[in-house]
């Protein structure tokens, strides 16, 4: 299933490789985040991209525009399919990220990676917003940052299942919404408090689903991925 991205939240390249080998063909791509990247570095990314896997490099860049542009250029050189930045870095930073992706891809005669933004981390509560001096409600802040990402030329945002509708209404149909926090009806929620099933999230308008533990911690990850894909086909 093309829209299903699996979070390779493991500690080492051998485990990541083994998981990708088990899942290849049943899923649409793999997400490599801070945990695996910090342990193993860019080689694990290249290993997957050179096999033709779609890789979403989830390092949530947030720095001055010039530095983020350099990081996105490097990610594009690794052949990633999707990369993300924090919308809170502002429009100049987001434009620089997009331009870097397109310039480097053009130099290599390859399609540019999708550049998407994190609006507000879903781990933040109303109290955490207060703490960091954001006086607005979470939903208006998410809507504002999604719209800013769109006008800055980005391809989409990462959003919790419950924010999809808000973002669709604000940003329209042609803006990618990448949604983690997916659980099967019978799965444990783990530390994700506001979850939806995969088919609910797609029905709500998600473009891509990011699923970690329900697949990678399953006894049979390939069967778990196939089950989620089958649920969505109904």
Name the residue nearer to ligand C5P (CB basis): 9 or 155. Answer: 9
Binding track over 14-43 against ligand C5P, x by CB under 6 A: -------------------x----------
* Residue 192 contacts ligand C5P per CB under 6 A: yes
* Nearest distance in Å: CB 110, ligand C5P: 26
161 binds ligand C5P (CB under 6 A): no
Q: With contact defined as beta carbons under 8 Å apart, do 81 and 52 qualify?
A: no
By the rule CB under 6 A, 210 interacts with ligand C5P: yes
- What minimum distance in Å lies between the beta carbon of 159 and ligand C5P? 8
- List binders of ligand C5P among 55-74 (CB under 6 A): none
Measured CA to CA, the distance from residue 226 to residue 40 in angstroms comes to 28
Among candidate residues 60, 110, 189, 219, the one labeled active-site is 60
Q: How many residues bind ligand C5P (CB under 6 A)?
A: 16
- Is 189 labeled as catalytic in the residue annotation? no
Piece in contact with ligand C5P (CB under 6 A), picked from 74-82, 165-173, 211-219, 225-233: 211-219
Backbone angles phi, psi at 156, to 5 degrees: 170, -170
Binding mask 103-132 for ligand C5P (x = CB under 6 A): ------------------xx----------
In the 8-state DSSP scheme, what is residue 234?
A: -
Shortest Cβ 107–ligand C5P spacing (Å)? 30
Are the C-beta atoms of residues 131 and 110 closer than 8 Å to each other?
A: no
What's the Rg (C-alpha) of the chain? 17
What pairs with residue 208 in β-bridges?
178
> Which two structure tokens, joined as six digits, stand for 78?
């690794």
Identify each DSSP E strand in 69-216 by its residue range: 82-86, 114-118, 156-158, 176-179, 208-211
Q: For residue 76, state whether it binds ligand C5P (rule: CB under 6 A).
A: no
Q: Which two tokens stand for residue 36?
A: 């695996």
Written as six digits, the tokens of 179 are 């949604």
In whole angstroms, the minimum distance from the beta carbon of 190 to ligand C5P comes to 6
CA angle 101, 118, 230 (to 5 degrees): 95
Catalytic residues: 60
């Amino acid at each position: 299933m093309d829209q299903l991205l699996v979070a390779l939240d493991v500690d080492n390249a051998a485990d990541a490789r083994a998981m990708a080998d088990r899942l290849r063909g049943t899923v649409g791509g793999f997400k490599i985040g801070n945990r695996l990247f910090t342990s193993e570095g860019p080689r694990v990314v290249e290993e997957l991209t050179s096999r033709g896997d779609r890789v979403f490099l989830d390092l949530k860049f947030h720095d001055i525009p010039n530095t983020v542009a350099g990081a996105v250029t490097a990610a594009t050189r690794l052949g990633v399919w999707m990369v993300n930045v924090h919308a809170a870095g502002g429009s100049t930073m987001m434009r620089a990220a997009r331009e870097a992706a397109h310039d480097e891809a053009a130099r290599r005669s390859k399609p540019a990676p999708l550049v998407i933004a994190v609006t507000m981390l879903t781990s933040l509560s109303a109290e955490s917003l207060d703490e960091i001096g954001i006086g607005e409600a979470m939903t208006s802040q998410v809507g504002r940052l999604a719209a800013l990402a769109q006008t800055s030329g980005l391809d989409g945002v990462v959003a919790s299942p419950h924010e999809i509708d808000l973002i669709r209404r604000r940003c329209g149909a042609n803006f990618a919404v990448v949604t983690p926090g997916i659980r099967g009806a019978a799965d444990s929620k783990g530390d994700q408090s506001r979850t939806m099933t995969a088919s609910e999230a797609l029905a709500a308008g998600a473009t891509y689903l990011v699923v970690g533990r329900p697949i990678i911690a399953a006894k049979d990850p390939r069967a778990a991925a196939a089950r989620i894909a089958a649920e969505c086909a109904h």
